[in-house]
Amino acid sequence: MSLLEVENLRTYFYTESGIVQAVDGVSFEVDRGETLGLVGESGAGKSVTVKSLLGLVNSPGKVVDGSVRFDGRDLTECSERELRREVRGSEISFVFQDPMTALNPVFTVGNQIAEIVEYHTDATESEAYDRAIELLDDVGIPDPEQRVDQYPHEFSGGMRQRVLIAMALSCNPKLIIADEPTTALDVTIQAQILDLFDEIQAKYDTAIVYVTHDLGVVREVCNRVAVMYLGKVVEHAPYEELYRNPKHPYTQSLLRSVVRPDERVDNLNPIEGTMPSAIDPPSGCRFRTRCPVAVDDCARIEPPRLDVGPDHDSACILYEEGYGTDEPRLHQRGKP
Ligand SMILES: Nc1ncnc2c1ncn2[C@@H]1O[C@H](COP(=O)(O)OP(=O)(O)OP(=O)(O)O)[C@@H](O)[C@H]1O
Ligand code: SF4
Ligand SMILES: [Mg+2]
C-alpha cells in the first residue's frame, strides 16, 4: 500500500462568474520515501490539489469528490481538529514558495521551530530549543547556535527557505509537500535547496510531493512525475521514462520548452496559446485547443488514462485502440 493514495479528487470554486473546476478527477500515489513531482503550467491546479489533501481549501472552494488515503486513513473524512492536531505539521508538512509570509517576523526562528516541536511532541522547552539547533544544522545553516536566536529578517532568502524546511522537518513527517519552494530564489540558491531536498530524503526517508512548473527542477529531485493540465493528470511516469519517452502531446510540448543542459538556449520552444479557463473548460480533451495533433474525436471523447508503458500512463485518445498506436490498456490504478 502506498503512503498516499489520492483518488478522483475534485475541488471546485463556486464563484460569481461560475464554477471553477480547478481540480477535476485527479488520482495519484506516493510511496514511502519517494518524490513525486506535480508539474504543469500556471493555473493547472497544482496548488489547489495539494491544499485539498490537507483540508486547506477555503470558501468559495470545496472538495466535492474523491478520497485522500494517507497511511491507511481517509483525510477527507477527518475533522478540522483532527487534521490540525494529528496530521498537519506532524505527519505531513508543507513548504511554501514565499518563506517570508510563512515565518512570523516578531519571533526568532528558534522560537518558531521549537513551538512546533513542543506542540506535536512531549519535548520540554529546552529540549525543543536544542532540537531547533539540530534542525538548523541539518538544513545546512552555518553557526546554528547563534542563528537560532535571530529573527527572520536577519536571514537571506535562501537561508529563510532552509528555515522553513527545518520547520517542516521538525516532527519527522512521513510526507513533505513542497509547493514551488525554489521559485523565488536565484538559480544558484535554487540548486542548493534542491540538493538539500535530496539530502533530507536520504537521511530521513521522507516522501515528498514536489510542485513546480519547471521540468528542469523535476529532473533534479523527482522519482516519478504527474503532469497536470487544466485540473487533470494527463500523464504519469517515472521521471527517466517521461523524459525519454513522453507520450502525451502536452508533455511533449512541455519538454520541448525546457532548456536542457546539453542543448543550446535557442532550442527553447514555448507552448503556443494559453490554457483556457477552468470555468468552462473545452469538451472532450481539455488540451485540444492547443494540441498540434488533435483529431475530431478529441472534442467528443474525454480521454481516460491509458497504460502506455511500465508504470506509465497517458490520457490521450491517440493511444486508444483503433488509432493505430501501440496497444495500450485502460490504466487500472488511478481511474480517469
Ligand atoms: N480562491 C479561488 N477562487 C477561485 N478560483 C481559484 C481560487 N484559487 C484557485 N483558483 C483557480 O483554480 C485553478 C487552479 O489554481 P492553482 O493555484 O491550483 O494553479 P497552479 O497550478 O498552482 O498554478 P501556479 O503555477 O500559478 O501556482 C485556477 O484556475 C485558479 O484561478
Ligand atoms: S486527446 Fe486529442 S487533443 Fe487531447 S492530447 Fe490527445 S490528440 Fe491532443
Ligand atoms: Mg500554485
Answer yes or no: is the C-beta of 226 below 6 A from any ligand 1 atom. no
Angle between helix axes 125-138 and 109-120 (nearest 10 degrees) is 120
What is the DSSP track for 177-221? Answer: EEESTTTTS-HHHHHHHHHHHHHHHHHH--EEEEEES-HHHHHHH
Q: Over its length of 336 residues, how does the chain's per-residue pLDDT go in tens digits?
A: 899 999 999 999 999 999 999 999 999 999 999 999 999 999 999 999 999 999 999 999 999 999 999 998 999 999 999 999 899 988 999 998 776 778 999 999 999 999 999 988 899 999 999 999 999 999 999 999 999 999 999 999 899 999 999 999 988 899 999 999 888 788 888 888 889 998 988 888 999 999 998 888 888 889 999 999 999 999 999 999 999 999 999 999 888 876 555 555 444 556 788 899 999 999 999 999 999 999 999 999 999 999 999 899 999 999 887 775 554 444 444 334
CA 23 / ligand 1 centre spacing (Å): 9
CA–CA separation, 16 vs 7, rounded Å? 28
Predicted local confidence at residue 121, as pLDDT? 87
Q: Which ligand places an atom closest to the C-alpha of 41?
A: 1
Instruction: Name the residue ranges covered by the structural domains of the chain.
Output: 4-91+173-330
Answer yes or no: is the C-beta of 213 below 6 A from any ligand 1 atom. yes
Answer yes or no: is the C-beta of 46 below 6 A from any ligand 1 atom. yes
Ligand 1 atom closest to residue 44's alpha carbon, by position in its atom list: 21
Answer yes or no: is the C-beta of 43 below 6 A from any ligand 1 atom. yes
Closest residue to atom 10 of ligand 1, CA basis: 22
φ and ψ at residue 24, rounded to 5 degrees: -135, 75
Predicted local confidence at residue 323, as pLDDT? 72
Strand, helix or coil at 300? coil
Angle between helix axes 157-169 and 187-204 (nearest 10 degrees) is 20
CA 151 / ligand 2 centre spacing (Å): 51
CA 230 / ligand 2 centre spacing (Å): 13
Residue 24 belongs to what H/E stretch? Answer: strand 18-30
Answer yes or no: is the C-beta of 294 below 6 A from any ligand 2 atom. yes
The CATH architecture that domain 4-91+173-330 belongs to is 3-Layer(aba) Sandwich (3.40)
Ligand 1 atom closest to residue 43's alpha carbon, by position in its atom list: 19
Ligand 1 atom closest to residue 180's alpha carbon, by position in its atom list: 27
Distance of CA 230 to the CA centre of its chain: 15
CA 306 / ligand 2 centre spacing (Å): 13
Predicted local confidence at residue 183, as pLDDT? 82
Among 252, 301, 318, which is best to mutate for testing ligand 2, by the most ligand atoms less than 8 A from CB? Answer: 318
Single-letter amino acid code for the residue at 164 = L
Predicted local confidence at residue 269, as pLDDT? 57
Predicted local confidence at residue 211, as pLDDT? 95
